[in-house]
């Protein structure tokens, strides 16, 4: 075979520049060391000259690593910012919810306090009314004895007619309904609200408050009552309670939250006076 015959080459994979530089540096160092050792053994009488070898500079490409580190740092910073924002929003949401809960609690407590205050005021008013009724009863009994007549004697017992009948019938139809302060019907009334609504059935417009209603019409003796007369408790023009006389020694009135609208005899709660409006 000719020495010039073609021999297929078996090429090894290329190595990176950085690796070749490292290998070159190492190989150079080894060859320099061997050369120095050979010279020393061949000429033992010659002085050995120290040689400073400059190692090849490693040509390492760090761009990829730096870029990766920067990207990672940026991603970590962005993630931290997002986490901080979420925590801020969660804290704001918790603060808002706490404020709403506190406000709702305060409103509920206020409503409960107002309800209790109203109930207490109603109880006190009822107790005061009972005490005044007892005192007035004693005074009225003494007055009746002096005049030789009893409360209710001489009152008309015949059935009411005309406008008086409309008033009495309406008042009796409301018996059993609830007493609500400020109520004007149709499902609940207070004392003056019931009297005003009853007189409306007869085409008569009365003031809303019991004080003003007791100042209407003309005064009438309790011994000469007629159906439809307005009874009052307190003083005329300053009454704190009113009701409607329905005949037979009885009245219909919106008494209090406990009893509601009832029909009672005059002895149940004797009135101070009466006015006749019809």
pLDDT at 137 over 90: no
Q: Note the pLDDT of residue 263.
A: 97
**Average of pLDDT values for 96-118?**
81
What size, in residues, is the chain?
278
CATH topology of domain 152-276: endopeptidase fold (from Nostoc punctiforme) (3.90.1720)
Structure tokens of 19? 């690796």
Instruction: Please say whether the beta carbons of 231 and 245 come within 8 A.
Output: yes
Omega prior to 186 cis, within 30 of 0: yes
**pLDDT score, position 75:** 80
**Rounded to whole angstroms, how far apart are CA atoms 165 and 168?**
5
Q: Which of 34-38, 72-76, 143-147, 157-161 has the highest mean pLDDT?
A: 72-76
For the chain, give every domain's residue range: 152-276
CB 227 within 8 A of CB 152: no
Query: Across residues 236-257, what is the average pLDDT?
Result: 96
What's residue 47's pLDDT?
54
* pLDDT in the model for residue 76: 79
Q: At which residue do the structure tokens 């609208």 appear?
A: 261
Tell me the average pLDDT across 253-257: 95
- In angstroms and rounded to an integer, the radius of gyration of the C-alpha atoms of the chain is 56
β-sheet bridge partners, residue 254 = 261
Q: What is the mean pLDDT of the chain?
A: 76
Q: pLDDT tier at 112 (50, 70, 90 boundaries)?
A: confident
Q: Greater confidence, 238 or 98?
A: 238
Containing 260, the helix (H) or strand (E) segment is strand 260-265
Which residue would you say has higher pLDDT here, 14 or 67? Answer: 67
pLDDT at site 62? 61
Q: Is 183 exposed, middle or buried (0-12, 13-18, 19+ CB in 10 A)?
A: buried
pLDDT digits (tens, 9 = 90+) for 21-51: 445 554 555 455 545 555 544 444 455 555 5
Note the pLDDT tens digit of each residue in 229-239. Answer: 999 999 999 99
For residue 9, the number of C-alpha atoms closer than 13 Å in the C-beta half-sphere is 3
User: What is the pLDDT averaged over residues 185-205?
Assistant: 96
- For range 70-78, the mean pLDDT: 78
CA angle 251, 255, 258 (to 5 degrees): 135
3-class state of residue 35 by DSSP: helix
Give yes or no for residue 206 having a pLDDT over 80: yes
Please, what sign has the CA dihedral across residues 142, 143, 149, 150?
A: negative
Is 50 exceeded by the pLDDT of residue 140? Answer: no
Q: How confident is the model at residue 69 (pLDDT cuts 50, 70, 90)?
A: confident
Copy the structure tokens of residue 210.
């019991």
């Amino acid at each position: 075979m000719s020495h010039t015959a073609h021999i297929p080459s078996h090429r090894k994979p290329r190595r990176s520049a950085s690796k070749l530089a490292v290998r070159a540096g190492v190989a150079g160092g080894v060859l320099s060391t061997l050369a120095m050792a050979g010279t020393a053994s061949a000429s033992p009488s010659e002085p050995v000259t120290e040689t400073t070898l400059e190692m090849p500079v490693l040509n390492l490409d760090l761009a990829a690593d730096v870029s990766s580190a920067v990207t990672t740092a940026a991603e970590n910073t962005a993630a931290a910012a997002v986490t901080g924002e979420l925590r801020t929003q969660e804290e704001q949401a918790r603060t808002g919810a706490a404020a709403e809960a506190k406000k709702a609690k305060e409103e509920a407590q206020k409503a409960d306090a107002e309800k209790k205050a109203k109930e207490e005021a109603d109880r006190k008013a009822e107790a005061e009314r009972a005490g005044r009724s007892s005192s007035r009863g004693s005074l009225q009994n003494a007055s009746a004895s002096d005049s030789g007549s009893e409360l209710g004697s001489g009152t008309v017992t015949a059935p009411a007619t005309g406008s008086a009948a409309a008033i009495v019938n309406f008042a009796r139809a409301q018996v059993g309904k609830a007493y609500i302060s400020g109520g004007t019907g149709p499902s609940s009334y207070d004392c003056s609200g019931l009297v005003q609504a009853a007189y409306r059935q007869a085409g008569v417009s009365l003031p809303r408050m019991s004080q003003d209603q007791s100042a209407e019409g003309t005064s009438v003796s309790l011994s000469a009552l007629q159906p439809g007369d307005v009874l009052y408790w307190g003083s005329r023009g300053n009454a704190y309670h009113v009701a409607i006389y329905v005949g037979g020694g009885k009245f219909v009135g919106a008494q209090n939250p406990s009893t509601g609208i009832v029909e009672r005899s005059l002895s149940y709660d004797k009135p101070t006076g009466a006015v006749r409006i019809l």
